[in-house]
Structure 1
Amino acid sequence: MSDPVLYHFAFDPASRSVRLALGEAKLTVVDTPVRPWEDDCPVGPLNPSGMPPVLQVTEHGRLLTLCEPAAILGWLEDRAKGDFLLSTDPAERAETRRLIGWFDRRFTDDVNAVLLHERMEKPLLRLGPPEARALRAGRESLRTHLTILEDLLTLRDALAGRRMGQADLVAAAHISVLDYFGEIAWAAYPGLKTWYMKLKSRPSFRPLLADRFPGVSPSPHYADLDF
């Protein structure tokens, strides 16, 4: 059986969450970077939304095309046939889904749609320089969300409960992109910082720490495991 093919964009949080999960599963994939804003992006014919990540895998002679994190993470859980990144405890499963929904909706709308638009999408699409007012609004929203995470981690070892799982990988994927651009004041969030350092130290995180955005150097501590 040939290795699965992963279509992804390095600085897309959804793509990063899947790369982390595949790394945790120790699954070898054919890494295929894409540029989803271009008309000839190969993801277009594969996913109706036109967005990465997309994983193509052959099972029992049949090609499966898995589009975006929910499908890919679900396939990994089915493949593991057990307690992999989604706890068997009903309360922790519910909390995992709540947190992932929060990042998929509120965090994306309040933070990424503003800060990553200004810091990342505008340079890629040549839409002009960042707007100071938008940056201020995005940073204020980011502080609100990070405070909620800090409060959660005063009570738990992992975001959804007792051990690292899907919610942690999804959160770390979003946070890692913002950290690349130097948007997180870590001194204000000691619990979150400790949690993130533990995740950064996992082998699955190494490929993300090697990513580089064209024309923008990472924050000085981006690749440091102990910062």
Structure 2
Amino acid sequence: MRPSGVSRRTSQRTLVLSRMNTPSPSSTIRLYHVALSPYCRKVRLVLAEKRVEVELVEDRYWEPGSELNRRNPAGKLPVLRMDGRLMAESQAIVEYLDEVIPVPALMPRSPIERYEVRRLCAWFDDKFNAEVTQPVMHERVWKKVMKLGYPDSRAVKEGLKAIKEHIDYMSGLLETRRWLAGNMMSLADFTAAAHFSCLDYISDVDWDRSAALQEWYATIKSRPAFRSLLADHLPGVPPAPHYAELDF
């Protein structure tokens, strides 16, 4: 029985829209990525949380033969192929996924709550990345993988110094919230976890600095969506011994 006040035409239109917004089961969903990119990991986490089967294709964009620029003229990963479309920009991708696959919801309903989620996503993808993820990962991981020389210890020290301020900021948020952006798990949590998981891979997070942050990360790390990330292994750069442990 339809709810009162809902016409047959409205009901049929809703069904059609629902079918349009659901990924076709016959089409292969493919994600072009690199293992220790926080932006790629954010999309992987959301796809896994939504229980979407995806084929992961590593794109070593720094090597000859990469077709990254053909797939995304901006020259950035990740790139998602879904329903015959190529999609770029991690934040645009995850918000799209949350709209077309609404369960489980990763964006709150009210505009002010959605604003807070987007604000924190930008915080980690812009500020945290510039101050911590990018300099530390570039010096300690990507220089080795890409054969670009030895790491700059000063850049690493600056990044590890900056992460302390971010940890303190996150701890303050978690004092009054169950999750980073509020009382529901959201894209903000997966965005932050994507960055922290890269740094945790090389054991560059001082978890003892904040019990609240450690508990938050342990909770999200224990989710089934995290399993494929914990199985990552970059050749030549082994993960920290505790990286895949849920109780760390």
> Which band: TM-score by shorter chain?
over 0.9
What one-letter code is carried by the residue in structure 1 that aligns with 2:68? V
- Structure 2 partner of 1:47: 72
Identity across the alignment (%): 41
- The answer to whether the aligner puts 1:36 opposite 2:61 as a matched pair is yes
Contact 2:139 2:155 in 1 (8 A): yes
The TM-score normalised by the length of structure 1 is 0.94
Deviations 1:107-132 (A, max 9, x none): 11111221111111210221222222
In structure 2, C-alpha distance between the alignment counterparts of 1:164 and 1:141, rounded to whole Å = 25
Instruction: For residue 71 of structure 2, give the secondary structure of its aligned residue in structure 1.
Output: coil
- Structure 1 partner of 2:108: 87
Deviation at 1:42, TM superposition (A): 2.6
Runs of 5+ consecutive residues of structure 2 not aligned to the other structure: 1-25
The TM-score normalised by the length of structure 2 is 0.86
Q: Aligned pairs, how many?
A: 223
Instruction: For residue 222 of structure 1, give the secondary structure of its aligned residue in structure 2.
Output: coil
Instruction: For residue 45 of structure 1, give the secondary structure of its aligned residue in structure 2.
Output: helix
Q: CA RMSD in A?
A: 1.4
Deviation at 1:169, TM superposition (A): 0.3
Runs of 5+ consecutive residues of structure 1 not aligned to the other structure: none
- Structure 2 partner of 1:130: 151
- Structure 2 partner of 1:117: 138
1:143-158 pair list within 5 angstroms: 143-158=164-179
Contact 2:50 2:104 in 1 (8 A): no
Instruction: List, as ranges, runs of 4+ consecutive aligned residues in structure 1 with deviation greater than 6 Å.
Output: none
What one-letter code is carried by the residue in structure 2 that aligns with 1:91? I
- Structure 2 partner of 1:22: 47
Deviation at 1:82, TM superposition (A): 6.8
- Structure 2 partner of 1:64: 85
- Structure 2 partner of 1:216: 237
Deviation at 1:159, TM superposition (A): 0.5
In structure 2, C-alpha distance between the alignment counterparts of 1:5 and 1:217, rounded to whole Å = 26
What one-letter code is carried by the residue in structure 2 that aligns with 1:134? A
